[in-house]
Chain A
Amino acid sequence: MDPQLEAFLRQVLVGLSIGCYLALIALGYTMVYGIVELINFAHGDLFTFGFFISLTIWGLFDVPTPLEGAWILALPAIAIVVILLSGGLNVVIERVAYRPLRGASKLAPLITAVGMSFMLEAIFAYIWGANQINYPRFIPTTNFLNDFSRIIRFTPRDILLFGVTIPAMIGLTLFIDRTRLGKAMRAAAQDREAAAMMGINVNRIIAITFFIGGGLAGVAGMVYGLYTGSGRFIMGFEFGLFAFTAAVLGGIGNIRGAVLGAFIIGMVQAMSDLYIGGEWSRVIIFSLLILMLVFRPSGILGSTTSVEKV
């Protein structure tokens, strides 16, 4: 095969995989913004939390590497524990740092969110160390496409990544579109006061939103660990910002938009790594964020938070 085409196809797969975990983070970002209009700056750190806490849970058992036999069942079990813990942490964060400021300016909870993010990162570094941390290689990396190409890789890890993230995205969309609770969330996003008057317990809805968002980010962190095999306490900052860019790109508050935006950002990163140089990727994605916010703040698909409050 033409080596240039081969490299391009490889980066397409890389872009899709980056898009997958960015989408899980972006979903939480966009849901929270949809309801409370808060840029939850600490959201990316729940991704890091999911990475570290799953590492600690694995460490409690004597797990064979790579996973074999019944141990494969530990994967969903631990994922559920990680979702509960990181979702719970996000609920606590909301209760402590954001809810008391709900009546105040939009900037006040944004400032506490920045404080929360830095605090969490420092605590992660204190507990788990400030260096790059290796994640055990539980999933093998045998390339299914070996006969076809050695550059383009599709491994059991990719199956895990797509197998977790795509059902999660579909499930969340269905949950919001079809269930009673999802309807209540949409109502609260549209008009919090009116929803409260219709008998919706808005505080409960907000807590549930933070729980789901945190859980998705946490499981994304775990999948990221299994996929890439290493991570660092600070990574949530960059992933969080990239995911936020994705959410803005798709139209903040818009669930499908967040997924679309995440895959676009994933592709932009993969392609700029290949054609422009990895050292420029950050510059390009953040420039994209600025341009979107300045020229089309409602995103590609438009925002569901329709009322632009000054």
Chain B
Amino acid sequence: MSALISRWRSIPRWAQLVILAAVVIFVPPVINIVERQTGFGLLTQVNRALIYVSLALGLNIVVGFAGLLDLGYAAFFAIGAYTFGILTWPSLRLDFSFFIAIWVCVLVAALFGMLIGAPTLRLRGDYLAIVTLAFGEIIPPLVRNLDNITIRIGDLVLVESFNLTNGPLGMKPLGRPNFGIVESIAGLSPGQLDPGVNPTFWYFIIVILVLVVLSASRRFEDSRIGRAWRAIREDETAARFMGVNTVRVKLLAFAFGASFSGLAGAVFASMLGAIFPELFRFQVSVFLLIIVILSGAGSVWGVLIGGLLISTFDGVLLAQIMPSIFPNSDVQSLRWVFFGIGLIAVMLFRPQGLFGHLGQRQRASQPVKEAAHGDAA
């Protein structure tokens, strides 16, 4: 593995990019062939895995970079998806274009990130974890109950029976990206580039999402704010003495982390074309935490590779291949046993994660372990 990595690093940068681009472009046709041979639904799983990777990269900012344990990250995912739903659901008649709506979702999610972050930043790490968990638990019942809002002040009825989220029935259909301009420039007939439910179109849209999130993560990592996050992760008191504005820096971690999942939530909502409160349960937060911890908290490349592997393990191996090999056993219901054991084993035996060493070059620090000893002091 390490030989492979050093080999990869010896290749010139332009060649690396060409190889990566070729891999990215040839994934859908290759998978199409495999799908036809095996009958498994793979490309939708790849899309799902890539969405999870972008969410995990957002969580990695909060947990990995800044060392703040967030157990309710799915809340921001839900906020992104439901903001997108509210902006594009035909019944509400706002009819935002996809390309505008996703940025509104980013802003709204970042705002909520600061909103939950601001009062909680004084708290100790484990209390912060529980506050975020409680926040994550409030969001699904809240959106489920916001289908019949009535606000009265005295006799003045401001809002009556207003259906914002369509409750347990879910919002459907939702807006899709419209490439009308591209179509007219390229001389295609209108609607030819409508992604619809075609997973190949969505694959490329989601790859762009991952690239945006990935490059933002990489930029943060070695920037001034990234160094400040690392400093508060390893020793908050020392960081404060060094002039780091810890409150501002933590708030930014929450805001950026939330904005990633707001973006991912919007794209996810648009891809599915329908959203329900149950899509954003606690399990999603924990699954993302498992990706980050198992892959190696703080390592961008580690989370990228680990996220792809873990999501594929979950969505393809456990959900499709194993049941087809052992049709009588209930492997799928044991997925949380595997993840639970994995989480415990990694924390006990390899706190830097399975792929935490990727892209760490000369930096000696092993994030979770370092944070561990820094915090205990």
Contact = CB atoms under 8 A, between A and B. Distances in A.
Interface of A: 37-39, 96-97, 100-101, 103-112, 114-123, 125-126, 130, 237, 241, 244, 248, 279-280, 282-283, 286-287, 289-290, 293-294, 297, 308-310
Contacts of A108: 347, 351, 368, 372
Q: Which 5 A-B pairs have the closest CB atoms?
A: A119-B340, A115-B343, A105-B375, A122-B336, A104-B372
Nearest to B236: A310
A39 B351 contact: no
Given A293-B127, A293-B130, A119 B336 contact: yes
Contacts, number: 142
B124 A310 contact: yes
A44 B286 CA distance: 17
A38 B376 CA distance: 13
A252 to B, nearest CB: 9
A126 B376 contact: no
A241 B137 contact: yes
B73 to A, nearest CB: 13
Given A112-B348, A290-B134, A279 B368 contact: no
B126 A107 contact: yes
B343 A122 contact: no
Interface stretch (B81-89, B141-149, B212-220): B141-149
Contacts of B129: 39, 107, 110
B282 interface: yes
Contacts of A282: 137-138, 141
Given A109-B347, A286-B137, 16 more contacts: A39-B129, A104-B373, A107-B126, A108-B351, A115-B347, A118-B286, A118-B343, A119-B336, A119-B340, A122-B333, A122-B336, A123-B337, A237-B282, A283-B141, A289-B130, A290-B131
B238 to A, nearest CB: 11
A289 B67 CA distance: 22
Contacts of A116: 340, 344
Interface residues on B, range: 35 or more
B142 A283 contact: yes
A126 B334 contact: yes
A104 B349 CA distance: 12
A297 B334 contact: no
Interface in B326-377: 330, 333-337, 339-344, 347-348, 351, 368, 371-376
Given A100-B348, A107-B125, A282-B141, A289 B340 contact: no
Contact of B123 (A100, A118, A279, A297): A297
A39 B126 contact: yes
B289 interface: yes
A171 B371 CA distance: 41
Contacts of A123: 337
Nearest to A39: B126
A295 B71 CA distance: 20
Given A110-B69, A310-B124, A118 B336 contact: yes
A278 B125 CA distance: 32
